[in-house]
Amino acid sequence: MRIVRLLFLLPFFLAATCAWASAVDDARKLHDEAEDSLRKMSGVATDPKAYAEVVRKLEKAQALLEEAAKTDPKGAEGLEQTVSAALFWARRFATVGVVRELRKPDARAPDPRAAEAAFRKAEEFERTHPGDDYAVALRWFQYADLYSGTDWSLRAHARALLAQARCEAAKKSAAPQTEDAKLIAEGSALLIKKDADAALAKFEQAKKAADTVLVERRIGHAYLDMGYKARDEYAAQYLPLRTRYDEAVSRGDTRAAGGLRSEALALVSRLKPLEEQAVKCYDCAQAAFQRGLDLAKGKDLDCEAHLGIICFARSKSAQPRARVLLEEVIGKYMPGNDEERAIHEYSRTLLTKLNAGVLK
């Protein structure tokens, strides 16, 4: 009887295995086709439609591998990282014409619930890939691109930069020589560990020793991290109630909706100090990045890009100003290293979504 049961189940096991193998094979074929096209396009004028098709092939390959990874994570992992890297750089070198082609089928804003679910998957990827910060950074940048327009995208961007910072820290074996450099290094290590308050104290000490563009950047990032933390605490308390209210409205339960609306108004009043804390942190971050830009005589990619990012993070009413700032960043800077490329890429992705009018 047991043998009969195994024979009965065998076709299903084989079907699942074949489906997984087919998905990986299809993904590999799409990647190879895209890579071949990219090689042919290198150094020549590129048709935006053809380049956009390359990006779509890589996106489809990535989706196939994510499904395959649910059945066999180790089997899909190597190719998944290769495809993610190829997709990241394909997007990085896309022209304005290519971006317009890619934008055509993407007219809807990301679903916040889907964005949160995908964010948790990206967190799990980071947790299961300790020490591989390059792959982790790519995963977070990929997420930030796919879900631009949500708060989760901004958080993903911050996580990507932290992963990049860990990569850079691992490369530097020589100890800093100057006092301010030593304090900045110590503060940066604390910021990577998400201890923004302690990091800020180190950066303020470094500023007293020498007020530089670098220390102002670090102060700006510390305040921005604190602002995100306050915003997350606010959202954790407010969003569940807002979800219940939306559900009551959807099912036509006006009585429940009225009660929840009153409850929400009371909650918003209680959360006012937390809202003011987030705004204050954004103000301090903005002041630091502006000070850094002034010290750099008006040219620093990190500072200028984050002035635009802060505008976006504040509110929808600030998005027109964010668009102007990000347009200036894209036109003004040519990235010179991995960190600058990451910031430039994120700024361009955010600007694309702003221009498409799909941000919430």
d(CA 119, CA 332): 31
pLDDT at 4: 36
Summarize the confidence of residues 150-170 as an average pLDDT.
Answer: 75
d(CA 173, CA 153): 32
Summarize the confidence of residues 320-324 as an average pLDDT.
Answer: 90
pLDDT at 58: 83
The model's confidence at residue 162, banded by pLDDT at 50, 70 and 90, is: confident
What are the pLDDT digits (tens) for 65-104? 777 777 776 767 777 777 777 777 676 666 556 655 655 5
Summarize the confidence of residues 30-42 as an average pLDDT.
Answer: 78
Q: What percent of the chain stands above pLDDT 90?
A: 24
d(CA 178, CA 172): 15
Q: Find out whether 133 and 163 touch, Cβ atoms under 8 Å.
A: yes
pLDDT at residue 164 tops 70: yes
Higher pLDDT among residues 1 and 98, named by residue: 98
d(CA 64, CA 224): 35
Q: Find out whether 148 and 353 touch, Cβ atoms under 8 Å.
A: yes
Give Cβ neighbours of residue 140 (< 8 Å, ≥ 6 apart): 122, 126, 156, 157, 159, 160, 163
pLDDT at 24: 78
pLDDT at residue 360 tops 50: no
Radius of gyration of the chain, Cα coordinates, nearest whole angstrom: 23
d(CA 220, CA 288): 5
pLDDT at 13: 38
Sign of CA dihedral 285, 116, 124, 171: negative
pLDDT at residue 53 tops 60: yes
Summarize the confidence of residues 8-16 as an average pLDDT.
Answer: 38
Six token digits for residue 83: 């495809």
d(CA 9, CA 17): 13
d(CA 311, CA 304): 11
Distances (CA, A) of 115 to 112, 135, 154: 5, 20, 11
Six token digits for residue 226: 């604190």
Q: Find out whether 346 and 149 touch, Cβ atoms under 8 Å.
A: no
Of the CA atoms within 13 Å of residue 58, those in its CB half-sphere come to 24
pLDDT at residue 29 tops 60: yes
Six token digits for residue 88: 């990241």
Burial 155-168 (b: 16+ CB within 10 A, else e): bbbbbbbbbbbbbe
The model's confidence at residue 108, banded by pLDDT at 50, 70 and 90, is: low
Distances (CA, A) of 233 to 88, 229, 271, 275: 31, 6, 9, 10
Alpha-carbon 314 to chain mean position:
17
Total number of residues shown for the chain: 360
What are the pLDDT digits (tens) for 224-275? 989 988 988 998 899 898 889 889 888 898 898 899 989 989 999 999 999 9
pLDDT at 66: 79
Summarize the confidence of residues 114-127 as an average pLDDT.
Answer: 86
